[in-house]
Amino acid sequence: MSDDNPIETRTSTIFLDEHGIIIITMKNCGLIDEYDVIDANFVIRFKANQKPAYKLLEANADWDLNEKAKARVEMENSKIYTAARAIVVSNKLKATVLKYLQKLSKKEFPQKFFTSKEEAHKWLLELKNKK
């Protein structure tokens, strides 16, 4: 794989910024399958040099996961691959609902929802600099 920055997949643009944070910007791609998830995770691991990554997911686009993709995401949802995750959503209502749902499922790593990419990035930098 070449070290292009960013790398485009069918479903997202994946960029490693100057602070070592991986920014994943979802595309208006419709339904995502398990192979799309595998593809994106392969690129993310490459960008992170196979280490747990600080990830900023811009999830504002029009997309959804099919059942096999959801299972694949859950299988890959581990501190082995993720140091922390900030998820940017389109509005406060969605962020509030997702924060509530997050409390119901425990993660092995810090995860937080935002409506601002700048605030999400700031939070990840703070976590990364504490390390």
- Predicted confidence (pLDDT) at residue 26 exceeds the cutoff of 70: yes
Residue 22's DSSP bridge partners are 16, 55
| Paired tokens of 22 | 């991986």
- Report, in this order, helix, strand and coil percent for the chain, each rounded to 5: 40, 25, 35
Which among 27, 37, 38 is positioned nearest to 60, based on CA atoms? 27
Which CA distances in Å does 57 have to 27, 36, 54, 118, 129? 11, 15, 10, 12, 19
pLDDT tens-digit map of 47-76: 999 999 999 999 988 888 899 998 898 888
Per-residue pLDDT of 89-127, as tens digits, reads 886 655 554 554 455 456 789 998 898 999 999 999 999
What tokens appear for 53 in the block?
């990554």
0.85 exceeded by pTM: yes
Spatial distance between the Cα atoms of 112 and 37, rounded to a whole number of angstroms: 21
Nearest by Cα to 48 from 65, 74, 24, 72: 24
Q: What is the pLDDT of residue 75?
A: 83
- The answer regarding whether domain 7-124 maps to CATH 3.30.750 reads yes
Angstrom CA distances, 120 to 10, 40, 93, stand at 24, 20, 17
Domain ranges of the chain: 7-124
